[in-house]
Amino acid sequence: MLDAFTALSRGTRLVYSRELRRYVFLPILVNLLVYAVMLAFVLAHFGGWLDGWMAMVPTWLDWLSWLIWPLFLISLVVIVFFSFTLVTHLIAAPFYGFLAERVEREVTGRAPLDERGFLRTAVDALGRELVKLGYILPRMAVLFVISWIPVLNLVAPVLWALFSAWTMAITYLDYPMDNNQVTFGDMRRRLAARRWPTLSYGGWVTLITWLPLANLFLLPGAVAAAVLMWDRHYRDLATLGQAAPPRAR
């Protein structure tokens, strides 16, 4: 059984092989530029955001400030991370969708069910990213509210960690599934049916995204790993005992 860590190791080696590395460097450059702009913005405002949060803590909880302050800090860092991730994935999605197609050809020797070429893959990938955002943002907003509520926000870091793993799994495993005409709803059901491979893969990808600069070079490997995970864990998984429905956008 292919585990998530092995898939990521193999996927990283694969994307930098002679056959595939030419598809990797453009998304790396795009993400590098986006990271530079967003990092400059965050560094300029981070202190003010944290001070504003701490000002909302009621006076009767002052005795817990030693605990609330680091929890606020962790929650704020996670929120910033999520914002970075969503923006960079939205921009890199067309390249990652095409990379997933190339990897599937290389690994399995067969083309995805939906052969669209780069231009249509790029357009469809952007549309699919908007669908993902429609799913992720409302749930992210709920966690954001929880992070602001004194006492209740004590569990916020744990909830953010689980949500991060699930979101990263959705984000990356969707690339090969989208290429193979799996609907977004069907994709989520397949991931839920293989919860441990899904969350372990998403957890490792989350850790990768936290590695400054190195993540720019490792995330294409996560795309390749998603193809390996798709082929091993999800391709032949029927949804509720039925064949996967045709894709509807």
Residue 246 inside a domain? The answer is no
Residue 242 maps to a domain: no
Instruction: For residues 188-192, give the mean pLDDT.
Output: 94
Q: What is the pLDDT of residues 96-109, one digit of tens each?
A: 888 888 899 888 88
Q: With the C-alpha atoms ordered 7, 222, 231, 244, is the resulting torsion angle positive or negative?
A: positive
Q: Residue 173: its pLDDT value, please? A: 95
Dist CA 181 CA 200 (whole Å): 24
Give 223's pLDDT tier (boundaries 50, 70, 90): very high
pLDDT given for residue 63 in this prediction: 64
pLDDT at 249: 40
Mean pLDDT value across residues 208-222: 83
Q: Band of the pLDDT at 184, cuts 50, 70, 90?
A: very high
Q: Range of 222's domain?
A: 4-234
Indicate whether 245 belongs to any domain. Answer: no
Whether residue 22 is contained in a domain is answered as yes
Residue 239 in domain: no
Mean pLDDT, range 217-244, rounded to an integer: 80
Q: How many domains does the chain contain in total? A: 1
19-23 contacts, C-beta under 8 A, 24 or more apart:
19/106, 20/99, 20/102, 20/103, 20/106, 20/224, 23/95, 23/98, 23/99, 23/102
Per-residue pLDDT at 211: 80
